[in-house]
Structure 1
Amino acid sequence: MAIYELRTYTVTVGKMNDVIALYKAEGWPALSKHPQKLCGYFTGDIGALNQLVHLWKFDDDADRRAFWAGVYGDQAFMNFAKQLRPMLQQQENKLLLGAPWGPNP
C-alpha cells in the first residue's frame, strides 16, 4: 500500500521569495536527479502565506527511507539544504495513507 508524506515548511516572514529562488536554482535541480516520488509543491494563497507544502508518494516505508537516504547523501542537495534551513521557522512531516474510496494522487 502506498504511503504519502506531507511536508510543511513554515518560512520566515519576508523570505518566501528567497526560498522560491533557491528552490528554482538549487533545490529542484538536486531533487530531480533522484527517482520521481513528488506529487507536487504548493505555496499558500490565503491563510498561511508563509508556508511551503509538498506531497510525496512512496511504495512503502522502505521506499521512503531509501529515497531520503539517497537525497541526504547527495552533496548538491545538502548544499541547498544548508542555505534553506536558516530561512525556515518550522518543519512538520505527516505520513498518510490513501482513503479506501475516491481518488489518490
Structure 2
Amino acid sequence: MQQIRNVFRKAALRAENTISSVSKTGRKQPGASMSTGPQQREGTFYEFRTYHIHPHQNAAFLRLTSEKIHLRTAQSELLGYWTVEYGGLNQVFHIWKYDSYTQRAAVRAALAQDSSWGEQYISKAMPMLSSQDSEVTYLVPWSKIQKPPKEGGVYELVSFQMKPGGPAVWGEAFQGAVGTHAAPGYAHPVGVFHSEFGWLNRVHVLWWYESADHRAAVRYRSHSDPRVVAAVRQSVGYLESQRNKLMFPCPYSPLK
C-alpha cells in the first residue's frame, strides 16, 4: 500500500508542477517544460559506429586501420576503438565525439575532399566490410566520461532497450541500478549514453574491467549483493531487452 501511495503522491506533485506553470491568464509560463526528462544541456554528442568485417578480411582490415587511422583522427576526436571479442564476431566498434551537427557535417565534407583518406583507406577498407551501423548518442545528464584508472583491461558495452517514455519514466530506477554496480567498486563506468538517432529508447553503459576473468568474478559477487538485486528488480520493469559485447581496445584507441 505504501508503494501505491508513493506512486499517487509523485503523480500529484507532477500535476501540481504543471498547474503552477500556467499563469492566471491560462498561458503557460516561458520556463515551463513539457519534456519527458532532463534536457540536454550541451551540444556535444557521440557517434557509435559498428563495422562488420568479412571474416577472411578481418586481419587485413585491422592492419590497414592501424596504418591509416591518423588520416581520420586529424579531422575529429576519436574516443575509443575496439575489436569485439564476445557478443559478436568480426566486428569493430568505435566512438567519435562531436561538438555539434554542424561540426560533424564539416568533418564529413573535409573527408570527402581528402584524397589521401579516400585513396589510401576508404577505397581499400570498404570492400572488406559487409555492413556498417551508426548511432548518435548523448551522455545522460548524470553521467560524464570517466577514463579507467589504468591502461589495459577490457570494455563491456551493455545496451538496454527501454520502454518508451524517456528518463521521466525509467531514469531514476536506471540510475540506481548503474550506481549500485559502480559504487562498491564492482566495475568502472566509462559513460552512460542514450540514443538520439538509430534505435530509439536505447541506453548504453560502457564499463571497464581489468580482465575478462575480473568481470566474471565481479558478476558473481554482485549477484549476491542485496543492494544490486533490489536496484535491478526496480529497473527491470522498464526494460524490453538487452545485449552486450566484450571488447578489446586497439593500440591506437585513446581509451585503452
Could you say which residue in structure 2 is the equivalent of 1:22? 64
SS in 1 for 2:86: coil
1:32 aligns with 2:73: yes
Using the alignment, how far apart are the partners of 1:90 and 1:32 within structure 2? 22
Q: Which residue number in structure 2 is paired with residue 69 of structure 1?
A: 109
Q: How does 1:1-105 map to 2 (within 5 A)?
A: 1-25=43-67, 27-34=68-75, 36-79=76-119, 80-104=121-145
Cα drift, residue 81 of structure 1: 0.4
Aligned AA (1:39): L
Structure 1, residues 16-68: CA drift from partner, whole Å, max 9, x if none?
1100111122x31322332x411011110112121111100111100111112
Q: Deviations over 1:69-89 (max 9, x none)?
A: 112211111111010011100
- 80-89 or 62-71, which moves further after superposition? 62-71
* Structure 1 residue ranges (4+ consecutive) displaced by more than 4 angstroms after TM superposition: none
Larger RCO (CA within 8 A; separation ≥ 6): 1
**Residue identity matched to 1:30:** L
Aligned-partner Cα distance in 2 for 1:29–1:55 = 15
CA RMSD of aligned residues (A): 1.4
**What residue ranges of structure 2 are gaps of 5+ in the alignment?**
1-42, 146-190, 192-256
TM-score of the superposed pair, with normalisation by structure 2? 0.38
Aligned-residue identity in percent: 27
| Structure 1 unmatched ranges of 5 or more | none
Count how many residue pairs are aligned between Structure 1 and Structure 2: 103
Q: CA deviation at 1:12?
A: 0.5
Larger Rg belongs to: 2
